[in-house]
């Protein structure tokens, strides 16, 4: 008998201690952040927390919201492809009484139902960075034209290579992702070749990560040592590709290009590791989004359609007939530091 009693009391005391410790920590956190009922709330739901692109987006949204006197609640999925997490985030934001929600959808069709519910509840919904399918599922989209960005990357690579016969490697992001497909297809168009062209030596999946970019590039080089043009989905993948090219002693013979405009990527262009990158503007997407919500809260006016937040080719070796900025400009305007 005594044993059981001991167990029960030990247990409940421990539970009580645990609860009060948790209560304390949560209470402290809540005290700092409790919302007042009058504030206009703007929600931001990014794909993940950790990608510097989304970190920049969040910082810019926070700064702009503060300027405009709005309260920003930022949420994110846990990983690329966490549709459930993003849907739950939007549900929570509707419950919180958000006036507008800015979302970078994980995939173009996963969010449609919850976006519809949000709009029916009178919430302004703007897609940032990635368009939905159909695009008019949201009120408006503020994003890089990723196909156009891909075209710029491909066009530069082709022009910069002159008449050299190209052997192309594709370092893709996550297969099937909307942004990835646009950039991939854009590159091929800009390069002037079609999917399945014999000059494409192979493709690898990088998930936009440096380590996987390196492994993918190593394998593709083992398969075909003649590769002399490399498409990369983003700058981390390009950094991985560069490391592989270097270990094969091929870093100076290969046209390595990318997209993103992160500060690390621009520095890689400056150092000659990457020939050119296409800069996009996450802070512009975010602050334009917050402005739109502020407008909507004040006047009921909603934006509509696709708003291209622009992209610029960054390189120190410009080619004729293609507009570009140098890395000095790039370092002033990059994101992620």
Partner 1 sequence: MTTVIASATDAPRSWKARILGAPSAGPFLVLIAFCVIFAFTNPRFLATHNLSIILQQTVIIGVLAIGQTLVILTAGIDLAVGAICVLGTIVAGKLVNLGYDPVLSMSFAILICTISGLAAGGLVSGLRLPPFIVTLGILGILTAALRLISEGGAFAVRDPFLSWTGNTMKLSGFVITYGVVIMFALYAVVWYFLNETKWGRHVYAIGNNPEAARLVGIPVRRHLMSVYVLAGLIYGIGAWLALGRIPNADPNAMQTANLDSITAVVIGGTSLFGGRGGLIGTLIGALIVGVLRNGLTLAGIDPLWQDLVTGILVIIAVALDQMSRRRR
- Give how many residues touch partner 1 by CB under 8 A: 62
Spatial neighbors of 62 by CB under 8 A, at least 6 apart, are 72, 74
Q: Which of 48, 68, 81, 168 binds partner 1 (CB under 8 A)?
A: 81
56 binds partner 1 (CB under 8 A): no
122 binds partner 1 (CB under 8 A): no
CB of 330 to partner 1, least distance (A): 31
66 binds partner 1 (CB under 8 A): no
50 binds partner 1 (CB under 8 A): no
The closest of 130, 245, 145, 238 to 189, measured between CA atoms, is 145
1 binds partner 1 (CB under 8 A): yes
135 binds partner 1 (CB under 8 A): no
Answer for the pair 207, 171: CB distance below 8 angstroms, yes or no: no
Q: Which of 41, 127, 138, 170 binds partner 1 (CB under 8 A)?
A: 41
10 binds partner 1 (CB under 8 A): yes
300 binds partner 1 (CB under 8 A): no
Answer for the pair 45, 90: CB distance below 8 angstroms, yes or no: yes
7 binds partner 1 (CB under 8 A): yes
Q: For 319, phi and psi rounded to 5 degrees?
A: -115, 155
Q: How far apart are CA 244 and CA 32, in angstroms?
A: 47
328 binds partner 1 (CB under 8 A): no
Q: Which is nearer to partner 1, 14 or 308 (CB)?
A: 14
Q: For 94, phi and psi rounded to 5 degrees?
A: -65, -45
73 binds partner 1 (CB under 8 A): yes
Number of Cβ atoms within 10 Å of the Cβ of 12: 10
CB of 146 to partner 1, least distance (A): 16
User: Cα–Cα–Cα angle for 127, 180, 209, nearest 5°?
Assistant: 105
Residues 159-218 that bind partner 1 (CB under 8 A): 174-177
71 binds partner 1 (CB under 8 A): yes
286 binds partner 1 (CB under 8 A): no
Q: How far apart are CA 130 and CA 58, in angstroms?
A: 15
Spatial neighbors of 150 by CB under 8 A, at least 6 apart, are 182, 183, 184, 185, 186, 187, 188, 189, 190, 259
Instruction: Give, for 152, the enclosing helix (H) or strand (E).
Output: helix 146-160
Binding residues for partner 1, per CB under 8 A?
A: 1, 3-8, 10-12, 14-15, 18-19, 21-23, 25-27, 29-30, 32-35, 37, 41, 49, 71, 73-76, 78-84, 87-89, 91-97, 106-107, 109-110, 112-113, 133, 174-177
């Amino acid at each position: 008998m005594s044993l059981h009693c001991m167990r029960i009391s030990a247990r409940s005391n421990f539970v009580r201690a645990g609860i009060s410790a948790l209560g304390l920590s949560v209470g402290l956190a809540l005290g700092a952040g409790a919302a007042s009922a009058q504030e206009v709330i703007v929600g931001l739901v990014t794909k993940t927390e950790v990608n510097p692109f989304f970190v920049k987006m969040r910082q810019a949204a926070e700064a702009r919201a503060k300027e405009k006197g709005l309260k920003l609640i930022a949420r994110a999925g846990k990983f690329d492809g966490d549709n459930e997490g993003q849907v739950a985030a939007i549900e929570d934001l509707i419950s919180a009484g958000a006036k507008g929600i800015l979302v970078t959808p994980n995939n173009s069709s996963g969010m449609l139902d919850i976006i519809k519910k949000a709009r029916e509840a009178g919430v302004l919904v703007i897609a940032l960075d990635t368009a939905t399918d159909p695009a008019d599922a949201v009120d408006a989209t503020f994003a890089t034209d990723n196909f156009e960005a891909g075209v710029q990357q491909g066009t530069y690579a082709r022009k910069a290579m002159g008449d050299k016969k190209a052997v192309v490697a594709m370092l893709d992001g996550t297969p099937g992702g909307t942004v990835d497909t646009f950039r991939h297809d854009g590159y091929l168009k800009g390069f002037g070749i079609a999917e399945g062209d014999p000059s494409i030596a192979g493709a690898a999946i990088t998930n936009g990560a440096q380590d996987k970019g390196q492994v993918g590039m190593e394998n593709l080089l083992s398969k075909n040592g003649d590769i002399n043009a490399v498409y990369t989905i983003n700058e981390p993948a390009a950094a991985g590709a560069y490391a592989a090219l270097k270990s094969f002693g091929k870093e100076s013979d290969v046209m390595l290009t990318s997209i993103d405009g992160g500060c690390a990527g621009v520095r890689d262009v400056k150092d000659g590791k990457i020939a050119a990158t296409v800069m996009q503007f996450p802070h512009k997407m975010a602050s334009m989004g917050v402005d739109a919500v502020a407008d909507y809260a004040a006047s009921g006016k909603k934006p509509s359609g696709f708003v291209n937040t622009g992209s610029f080719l960054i390189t120190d070796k410009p080619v004729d007939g293609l507009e570009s900025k140098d890395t000095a400009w790039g370092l002033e305007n990059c994101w992620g530091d």
